[in-house]
Amino acid sequence: MQTVKIGNVEIEKTAALAPMASVADKAYRTICKQFGAAYVVSEMVSVKGLYYSDNKTDELCHISDEERPMAIQLFGDDPLYFKLAVEKIEKYTQSIIDINMGCPVPKVAGNGSGSALMKNPKLAAKIIEATALAAKCPVTVKIRSGWDFDSINAVEIAKIAEESGAAAVAVHARTKTQLYSGKADWEIIRRVKNSVNITVIGNGDIVSAEDAKRMYDETGCDLVMLGRGTYGRPWIFSQIKSYLESGEVPPEPTARERMDILIRHAEMIVADKGERRGMAEARKHAAWYMKGMKNAAAFRNRCGTIETMEDLKSLICEALAE
């Protein structure tokens, strides 16, 4: 299997897990790693929250050895706070620091962070430079195609990232205004790859092993990254690896196998966060795992009432009996 380097970090050239707020927690990253994710990125971490030692922010940074190589993703709009945050997270010994310049949600972009930084290239450059100078590990930047269809500037921002010290740029091939709708324009990824000498990661509309291979072929990117295509399907990483190695895609797990994976995943969430909070967060995952099963709509609706592991196991027994 080929590898790709981000700075001095070597990563298998298969597929990476994208950073996803309220989804890509420690348990999610770990189960995706167990199924072959080559590289994972944390949920968004506020640079100001880190600096002021917010407990919830601190929790987002905890890394297990099983997750490595992995990145902690930072967001904010002030170069000074990025520098101070980098100094704060040295103790977590992350492999890479990723800067979020792609989040489109109003509470982030509306405050000048995330994808809003693509409208302010000078500030983006200062943030990347401050982070790269302070960090003892490689720094990457996650961007979008642009703010909207009238301001597609991923190539410009990627060049700025390279000039400012970033070791890689990940491109979600949608604009901020698209959010997660419409079709990702992979041509943007190809243009970025042809414009910079740093590692380029492609992201957007990969929901199968064939999609991953096609993105590699069509864009020339160095690594592909999956987000929503992993929902309830962490085994997609093993399918991608197999397809890239042999041209064969392993079959989808049986319903029983899927439910066994769901239980394992839920147990990991509970072990990390306790049953009450863990099961509240497991509800959406349970609904995703049950997608496509017989009478799935009814069972997925009932996932919203799960409070204990026993509740989940009882629901799974009913679903499998169908």
Which domains, from first to last, does the chain contain?
A: 3-246 (3.20.20.70), 255-321 (1.10.1200)
Q: CA angle 247-253-259, nearest 5°?
A: 155
Report yes or no: 195 and 156 within 8 Å, Cβ to Cβ.
Answer: no
Q: pLDDT tens track of the chain, all 322 residues?
A: 799 999 999 999 999 999 999 999 999 999 999 999 999 999 999 999 988 887 778 788 888 999 999 999 999 999 999 999 999 888 887 899 999 999 999 999 999 999 999 999 999 999 999 999 999 999 999 999 999 999 999 999 999 999 999 999 999 999 999 999 999 999 999 999 999 999 999 999 999 999 999 999 999 999 999 999 999 999 999 999 999 999 999 999 999 999 999 999 999 999 999 999 999 999 999 999 999 888 889 989 999 999 999 999 999 999 999 8
Question: What are the tokens at 59?
Answer: 């929790």
Sign of the torsion angle spanned by Cα atoms 197, 189, 41, 88: positive
- 60 class by beta-carbon count within 10 Å (0-12 exposed, 13-18 middle, 19+ buried): buried
pLDDT of residue 120: 97
pLDDT of residue 280: 96
Q: Hey, how many other C-beta atoms are within 10 angstroms of the C-beta on 107?
A: 9
Residue 189 makes CB contacts below 8 A (sequence gap 6+) with 171, 173, 200, 202, 204, 215, 219, 221
Report yes or no: 173 and 204 within 8 Å, Cβ to Cβ.
Answer: yes
Q: CA angle 190-196-197, nearest 5°?
A: 115
SS3 percent helix, strand, coil of the chain, rounded to 5, is 50, 20, 30
Q: Provide the annotated active-site residues.
A: 103
Please give the full DSSP string across 255-298, using - where no structure is assigned.
Answer: HHHHHHHHHHHHHHHHHHH-HHHHHHHHHHHHHHHTTTSTTHHH
Sign of the torsion angle spanned by Cα atoms 188, 180, 129, 199: negative
Three-state DSSP class for residue 222: coil
Pairwise CA distance, residues 278 & 219, whole Å: 39
Pairwise CA distance, residues 54 & 42, whole Å: 17
